Structure 1
Amino acid sequence: MFISPMLLETAEAPFSDENYIFEPKIDGHRGLLLHTDGTTRLYTRHNNDCTRQYPELSAGTFDGDVILDGEIACTDPETGVIDFESVMTRFQASRSDKIRRLSETIPANFVVFDILRYKGEDLRNRPLMERKEVLDGLALPSANFGKIPFVDGDGEALFSQICARKLEGTVAKRKDSVYESRRSNSWLKLINWTYVNVYITGYRKGDFGWLAGVETKDGRVRPAGIIELGVTPTQKMAFYGVCQQIVTGEDAEYVYVQPRIKARVKIRNWTKAGMLRTPAFVEFIV
């Protein structure tokens, strides 16, 4: 039985509070694990079955039926750091031979942070800390499984450590929170954003998107991604009010402009190809 996951609201700033626990945010993709009658299946947060992509996880067996909420993640083979691109490579693989090869070269891990059902009992209406106690007693099937650590109350110190290690961010959860299959302010995320100055080099003709470019060491501006998030209607009007004067050309998808309009964006991190990951507009730079 698939259960829609509890989703996070966004915290405005780091905070500490004795009514909360704080966990590191794992840079993978959300996963629901269902173990029923000796069979393990994995689902994304949108109820897409991804069991086949992760044979090293679906092989895991548990003592009794269980539904777990967690994050599926991979580490970069060279750096040992959790790497979002690696887990996307795993998730997007479809051929059996490639899946088998990747399971050996980029093994996946399931990092558990909540338990929703266990041995026939629905735990969702129990307070979070009671669910954590049940989870603490659950035996995990292999080294590909782990349980998320947490700190009690001191969210600011944890966030500082996360930033120092250049990790994704933290999650704050009310200790008394029940598990709700919706977005809830009982669970809050705080992202460790990286801020970058870019040039807007064009715009998409269809769905909204501004082309972003970054300056290279030799003074050129190279493509770096598309800004789709964070832009207000007023900022769009301001851009389109001036950009027609600096158009350099167009094709079927884009209109290109001189790199004269500068903006500040926030990103999760850089991709290995040197692109901005999930850039969100912050402000124009004058």
Structure 2
Amino acid sequence: MFLSPMLLTKRETPFSDSRYLFEPKIDGHRLILSIQDGSVRLYTRHRTEVTKQYPELHDAPIADTTDVVLDGEVAYVDPETGAIDFETMMERFHLRKAEKIQRAMNLKPVHFFAFDILRYCGEDLRGKPLTNRKEILNGVLGSNEHFSAVLSVPGDGESLFQVVVDRDLEGIVAKRMDSVYVGKRDERWIKVINYTYADVVISGYRKGDFGWLAQFNGRPAGIIELAVPAIHKQAFYGVARGIKVAEDKNFVYLDPRIKARVRFRNWTRNGMLRTPEFVDFVV
């Protein structure tokens, strides 16, 4: 059974508020775990079924498996460092062949971090306040090497965010304690991202869909597509016309004079910016 997930709104700065529970934001992908009469089905937030991708999640430590739906995040945790590795998680997600999935399960097992329970024993729990659902979740879900409940901290989001920064985690999520569960984006659930910042050089731009080519320390670092205001685009193209050096079918290349500050989730293994967002030009 798939139930549409409740989605987050965004806030730029951490905050504290006695009306909220605060949780670390797990850097994996959203997963709806459904068990009907002992049969497990796993779905992404977009209703893509991924049951076959994660066989280690087929035996959830739940007190009663007749009718359960959990919401959470699936992630890969490096056993040596304890760090959450998003790229390894995505490698697991994209596997399709059974033998490769089995090998990956043994070598790089995933973990399901449950943060909500939507159904249990035939009862729809989405109309209950978050605090009640958390109490039920913690009462029926056990923990083992593949399953655990997400830690929640009442009231003090700023202290939790500082822990997230110190440990280089993705961010925090703030949830109103009295929030019911709705299958859409809702202002009662808020994310605050722990961004990394860097100054890059714009070495060109894409001819079709919008995108600026970014360089860092003289090497390609990705494409800036997000959060560029119209006035900054206009200023960029006004300057770019005078510093064009070459072009091909897809890109126009520039003398790398224009500098920009970007924020992004993290550096990838091959030195690329993950999901870069434009902040401002560097003068």
Alignment partner of 1:107 is 2:117? no
Partners of 2:201 and 2:258 within 8 A in 1:
yes
**2:6 — aligned with what?**
6
Deviation string, structure 1 residues 230-272 (Cα, Å, up to 9, x no partner): 1011111111111011111112211111110000000101001
Amino acid at match of 1:147: A
What's 1:174 paired with? Answer: 176
Does the CA-based 8 Å contact 1:72-1:108 persist in structure 2? yes
- Work out the CA distance in 1 between the residues paired with 2:24 and 2:138: 17
Structure 2 unaligned runs (5+)? none
Q: Kindly tell me the number of residue pairs found equivalent between the two proteins.
A: 281
- Distance in 1 (alpha carbons) for counterparts of 2:207 and 2:77: 37
Q: Which segments of structure 1 move beyond 6 Å, counting only runs of 4 or more? A: none
Report the CA distance between 1:71 and its aligned residue: 0.0
What code does the residue aligned with 1:256 have?
Answer: Y
- Of 271, 275, 278, the residue aligned with 1:278 is 275
| The one of 228, 234, 237 aligned to 1:237 | 234
| Alpha-carbon offset, residue 58 of structure 1 | 2.1
Whole-Å Cα distance in 2 between the matches of residues 8 and 113 of structure 1? 13
Structure 1 residues not aligned, in runs of 5+: 216-220
- Hey, what does 1:33 align to over in structure 2? 33
Name the aligned partner's letter for residue 270 of structure 1: W
Q: 2:116 touches 2:137 (CA, 8 Å); kept in 1?
A: yes
Task: Give 1:218's aligned residue.
Answer: none
Alignment of structure 1 residues 200-239 onto 2, 5 Å:
200-215=202-217, 221-239=218-236
Q: Is the 8 A contact 1:170 1:191 kept in 2?
A: yes
* Secondary structure at the counterpart of residue 234 of structure 1: helix
User: Per the alignment, in what secondary structure is the counterpart of residue 266 of structure 2?
Assistant: coil
State the distance in 2 between where 1:236 and 1:70 align: 38
Which residue of 2 is the match for residue 194 of structure 1? 196
Match of 1:88, SS state, is helix
TM-score, length-scaled by structure 2: 0.97
- Per-residue CA distance 1:24-45 (angstroms, 9 max, x = gap): 0000000000000111110000
Shift of residue 76, structure 1, vs aligned partner: 3.0
What corresponds to 1:129 in structure 2? 131
Q: What SS does structure 1 have at the residue aligned with 2:22?
A: strand
CA distance in 2, matches of 1:102, 1:90: 7
What is the alpha-carbon root mean square deviation over aligned residues?
1.2
